[in-house]
Amino acid sequence: MKKIHQSTLLRDFIGAAFCLVTAFVLVLMCTGCGDDLAGGTAEETNIVASLSNITVLGRVKNINEILEANNVDADSEKMIARMFELDSVTLDTVGKYFFGSYDNRTGEFRFDSVSVNSPYALIEISSYKEDEYWSKDSWKFEDYNEDWGSFSVRAIVDLRKAAVVNINALTYLESFRIVSLAQSGMSYAEAKNKADRDILDAFGFFKNSLDFAHLEISNPSDSIAVDYITGYIVNHVDVVVPTVGKNGSFDKMSSSEKGDWIGMLLKSLERDVIDSSTDTLQIRAKSNFAAVLLGLGECSEEMEDTVYVTSYTLYNLVCNSGNWGLAKNVPVVYSADVLVDSRDGKKYKLVTYEIGDSSQTWMADDLMFNSPDGNYLYPDAIAMDSTIVMQSYDECVEYWVGEWMRGRIEDLSYKDTLAILSSCDEYMQNRSAINYERFWPAVDSVVAEKGFVQGICPDGWRLPSGHEWETLMEKIAYTFVDPDEEYSIYRAPEYFEVAGFGSVLRPDGDNPWRESEAYYAMAPDSSYRAPEFSDLAMQTVTFIRFSSSYWDILPRALNTDMGSVVRVRCIKE
């Protein structure tokens, strides 16, 4: 298997949106066209068509979606239709233009009494704003400045062909490429065919064949291609036109901008796979485009099984059966082993990480000692004398009377009294009411004697501290997140699993198809408190929380519903 290593640091970027392709249908209807209409072929030079007194009708479809995609306020901006005659060889404008009527309600436009010598024209639909200096009723065509509008689409058409032509985002990009190729010596027909091929290849759609002026969608892959390329044109027109429009590829795109796009694509792919929210064809499209930007090109037979090793993502690119796809990336270096708990004979996977000048060895499975499901009440997890660290029933009642009524039990209503008694019954049953005035002296005494809190872990092992959890998280997270970027992660549980730590999420008991939050016990540590809280209970940090999209270490008093049940991962002493 061939491997290629990535050298560019990629940035996390929220991904590229797939946009609705919005098509304009232009019906070219010619009147007064005699034998001259058929004169000349596409390959001829200096074509003189002598099209006289023709009428060109068209209609803009889905105008509201188009305006919305381009942040155009339909109430404040209107549209105008313009047509430019083009030189039959270079496709430059020749100074002859026509202003057509446009109906903002229906999207229909019309050019009347058009007479041209060249069969090629650029038809453009542009937005404009009227103000006190310039209005549709008072303006002259040559006064119009493109900066006055915020949106335009266009296409280069052959007026000799009385056919239905779509003007859309794809023909907009195509028009720039056609002109560039025509000025290099190609005929219009040659330039148009090559322009469509160049644009498809530039976005990684090597196996698709589409005529942008006649978008006939014959399969789902074509639909993905149209939507995907349209999205980039609409959202990144300032990048796409100077590169693909002028040069037919992204080769001359700046390295920093290309790096941003690659990072965006790879992180977007990571999210797609983890969330299972994107279909296979869309993932393939993104993978192929990422490969193009990385300079890998098409996944050919010669490239089969080539693996491109990425940085800061969960997945590498791999060439397989004609398309680039994804293979799990395992960039975290670790060693594995097995522990047998002498207390009950149960086996646990182990994982060791080298971090700086030291190492950490963790259980890669949840502890299951004396627990069929691996769930523990926190007092059981820390294995401390409950008569010392737990509140008695009377202390619980006294605590809540003090909290609710400032000690004036005689002021409690019957309803409040029942609520307090019911809560304390629950806390006693869950053993989740801690007396923090006794809890911390007891913890400090254990730490002073042993140097750590062993908790329910087997001999030679102990509960990890908050500092150790954070050290491990940084080790793993910074493998998938550029350290030069702001510290942020997308799916911490996925990162941990790839790094050999095992799964930190298990199916929800009520819904086995959905993964729930998980809380892992943390050794109480007086040096690891939450100073932002004045209350001793809230200063106490007792667990780390994993969810489907994040991790965090929470300060939380355990006389609340959340956090009273934890899981345990022991760390080697």
Give the lowest-confidence range in 225-239, 371-385, 553-567.
553-567
* pLDDT score at 164: 55
Q: Residue 341 is which amino acid?
A: D
Radius of gyration, alpha carbons of the chain: 34
For range 244-253, the mean pLDDT? 96
Q: d(Cα 99, Cα 211) in Å, to the nearest integer?
A: 27
Contact (CB, 8 A) for 552 and 473: no
Instruction: Give the C-alpha separation, 21 to 524, whole Å.
Output: 57
In this prediction, residue 24 has a pLDDT band, given cuts at 50, 70 and 90, of: very low
For 445-459, 485-499, 530-544, which range has the lowest pLDDT when averaged over its residues?
Answer: 485-499
Residue position matching structure tokens 């259980």: 363
Q: Which residue has the tokens 């000690």?
A: 407
* β strands within 305-430, DSSP E: 307-309, 315-320, 323-328, 335-340, 347-355, 358-363, 376-377
3-state helix, strand, coil in the chain (%, to 5): 35, 25, 40
d(CA 526, CA 451): 13
- What integer pLDDT is reported at residue 562 of this predicted model? 42
**pLDDT confidence band for 204 (50 / 70 / 90):** very high
Please report which helix (H) or strand (E) contains residue 182, including its range.
helix 169-182
For residue 561, the model assigns a pLDDT of 41
Q: Which amino acid is at 373?
A: D
DSSP 409: G
Output the pLDDT for position 283.
Answer: 92
User: Helix, strand or coil for residue 192?
Assistant: helix
**Span 379-398, pLDDT tens digits:** 889 998 888 888 888 888 88
% of the chain at pLDDT higher than 70: 73
Which residues touch 160 (CB under 8 Å, ≥6 apart)? 37, 38, 40, 49, 51, 119
Do residues 354 and 397 touch, judged by C-beta distance below 8 A? Answer: no
Q: What is the pLDDT of residue 184?
A: 95
Angle between helices 188-202 and 220-235 (to 10 degrees): 90
Residue 71 pLDDT greater than 70, yes or no? no
Written as six digits, the tokens of 171 are 């023909």
CA–CA separation, 116 and 36 (whole Å): 11
DSSP, collapsed to helix, strand or coil, labels residue 72 as: coil
| H or E stretch at 170 | helix 169-182
Which pLDDT score is estimated for 477?
Answer: 74
Distance CA 490, CA 550 (A): 6
Return d(Cα 226, Cα 242) in angstroms, integer. Answer: 20
DSSP 242: I
The C-alpha atoms of residue 420 and residue 433 are separated, in whole angstroms, by: 13
- Residues 170-180: tens digit of each pLDDT: 999 999 999 99
| pLDDT for residue 134 | 57
Burial of 123 (0-12, 13-18, 19+ CB in 10 A): buried
The residue type of 246 is: K
Q: Any idea of the CA torsion for 361, 364, 366, 370, to the nearest 10 degrees?
A: -60
- In the predicted model, is pLDDT for residue 41 greater than 70? no
pLDDT band at 6 (very low <50, low <70, confident <90, very high): very low
pLDDT of 369 reads 97
Per the CB < 8 A criterion, the answer to whether 13 and 269 are in contact is no
* Per-residue pLDDT tens digits for 72-115: 665 556 777 889 999 999 999 998 989 888 777 777 778 888 89
Q: Give CA–CA dist 133/41, Å, rounded.
A: 46
pLDDT digits (tens, 9 = 90+) for 487-510: 445 567 777 888 889 888 765 544
Token output for 71: 């942040």
Q: How far is CA 273 from CA 222, 282, 290, 327, 494, in A?
A: 22, 11, 15, 11, 11
Assigned token pair, 223: 């639909």
Is the pLDDT confidence value at 351 over 80?
yes
Extract the runs of DSSP E, i.e. beta strands, from 265-346. Answer: 307-309, 315-320, 323-328, 335-340
**What is the predicted pLDDT for the residue at 557?**
43
The ranges assigned to domains in the chain are 3-14+238-328, 23-214, 354-387+436-572, 391-430
Q: Phi-psi category of 464—alpha, beta or left, where left has phi over 0 and alpha has psi -120 to 50? A: beta
Between the two ends of the chain, the Cα-to-Cα distance in Å is 40
Partners of 489 in the β-ladder: none
Q: Residue 54's pLDDT band (boundaries 50, 70, 90)?
A: confident
- The count of C-alpha atoms lying within 13 angstroms of the C-alpha of 207, restricted to the half-sphere facing its C-beta, is 15
Q: What is the per-residue pLDDT for 179?
A: 96
Query: What is the DSSP-derived secondary structure letter of residue 499?
Result: I
Answer yes or no: is pLDDT of 237 > 60.
yes
pLDDT greater than 80 at residue 166? no
Look at strands 23-29 and 51-60 and give their pairing: antiparallel
Which carries the bigger pLDDT value, residue 336 or residue 331?
336
- The predicted pLDDT at position 44 comes to 47
At residue 127, does pLDDT exceed 90?
no
Which tokens is 390 given? 């737990």
418 membership: H or E segment, kind and range:
helix 414-430
Average pLDDT over residues 411-435: 79
Question: How sure is the predictor about 553, in pLDDT bands with cuts at 50, 70 and 90?
Answer: low
